[in-house]
Amino acid sequence: MCAIQQIPLSVIDHEDSWMWKFDSKGIYTLKSGYKYQYNQLPRAPALTKDLWRYVWKLELPAKVQKAIMIAWEIWNARNGIVWKQKHVVPYTILQKAQHFLQEWQLARVSMVSYDPNTVPIVIKWQPPNAGLKCNVDACFDAATGLVHVGLVIRDSNGQFVEGMCKSLGYVQNSLNAEAMGVREALSWVKGRLFNMPMVMEMDCLMVKQALDRILHDNSYFAGLIHDCKFLVRDIASLYFSFVKKSANQVTHMLARATGSMSGLAE
């Protein structure tokens, strides 16, 4: 009963609808049905992964390397015929194999020449030109399915204004968790009635892109995005922005820490 009560519901009242959980859009198609059945067949993913690791480490002769890449592209071509009805000529398969081989060889050279002392370029958080900036991030616990969110609001001088962290309930994957985190942030900001322009910054590009377009599907993710758009209509002067994870570290750590806390912290 406790787990059922923690299932997050929509902020908008609407009728329930059927959803096909094995499709990203929640819509059943004959193709998605066949794909589901195909994925139930026995596989040997661990063996395949171990094989590629073995190939990666070996100094194989050029002819053997090329043969492996051709076999890989033949497999890709077969999948294209089965799932996308996309046919390719043998010449194209050979060209793709050669291109893949060249990329693989360049990657090996890059790994050998990699300098661990090189300092990586890190994008840092930047204050807004005016008004407020709200950074939000969600943490998804794959073992439990629980979602935790953290958000921090700072002004144009970089000064802390308000913050919040909270556990939200259960979802199926990390993408839904990120969308749920943005929805919670919008609901929280709406209740505070900030009378200043605000940019809401997130590090999940797929959520940002979904907020910028219209989604026509029955997925849970689409429902979360619809909730976000419904909430933002009542918040004056707010727009969304995408940022690299390195510029969103404060909220990321806050969301992660929420797993060891109980209730709401502000």
Query: What are the chain's domains?
Result: 49-110 (no CATH), 132-263 (3.30.420.10)
Mean pLDDT per 10-residue section of the chain, whose length is 266 residues: 62 69 72 71 52 56 77 82 77 76 65 50 80 92 87 93 88 88 92 84 91 81 89 85 89 82 51
pLDDT of residue 5: 61
Residue given tokens 């918040």 in the structure block: 235
pLDDT of residue 138: 92
d(CA 258, CA 50): 36
pLDDT of residue 195: 80
pLDDT of residue 47: 47
Whether this model's pTM surpasses 0.85:
no
pLDDT of residue 31: 75
pLDDT of residue 258: 76
d(CA 264, CA 266): 7
Q: Could you give phi then psi for residue 134, rounded to 5 degrees?
A: -110, 115
C-alpha separations of 4 from 8, 15, 51, 169 in Å: 9, 19, 43, 9
Contact 100, 73 (CB under 8 A): yes
pLDDT of residue 50: 57
pLDDT of residue 115: 53
